[in-house]
Structure 1
């Protein structure tokens, strides 16, 4: 069974990243899987801000749920852009930038066979 590690970034800063995290956490299949990714704290820093979402996915049925949820979120937003990096356990990496729901469509079709 394939597993995926998905990173989601936005151009909207921390606030938008937290908004999409909250949105994704409402999906029953994604509960407990969505985390905020922060870089390591450097010398003289008190902390860091989240840079991306990290979502661990095991099982083929969950990746389409994630993509459909992001697609819906994009349809409700103006001027939002997300960048997805999807790493499969086999080592394959797929990246996409999306600012329209249609941009996610090819990934939904690609996961239909998995």
Structure 2
């Protein structure tokens, strides 16, 4: 059975992705649902490059995810933009860009609507 998930990229460094991943893992609702995803290793590369944080979602955890991303942006202040790519169980896709608390509120409403809350 297909899962709903969010693939999150950060307009920053691998350290920013690790920081966000660790931040999300600290959320009780998201614990065990967060992993770091690496791009395939290309010829000539020494190892994998992190390119996203992936979170398995339910309608209940979508709000937690976006609120937590908003909080992370406020606390870290070093990431310019976070892009969330949501995939629903039926294969539908929604891409949201968040760079401020106001963006996060708009994204939360769009995610809830997309996930059928």
The equivalent residue for 1:86 is 86
Length-normalised TM-score, structure 1: 0.87
**Is the CA contact 2:41–2:49 (under 8 Å) kept in the aligned structure 1?**
no
Greater per-residue helix proportion: 2
Residue 63 of structure 2 contacts residue 108 of structure 2 at CA under 8 Å; is this kept in 1? yes
User: What secondary structure, in the 3-state scheme, does the structure 1 residue paired with 2:95 have?
Assistant: strand
**What's the RMSD between the two structures over aligned residues?**
1.8
Distance 1:99 1:15 in 2: 18
TM-score, reference length from structure 2:
0.85
Tell me how far 1:79 sits from its aligned partner.
Answer: 4.4
- Check the 8 A contact 1:38/1:51 in 2, yes or no: yes
**Unmatched 5+ stretches in structure 1:** none
Q: How many residues were matched structurally?
A: 112
SS at match of 1:7: strand
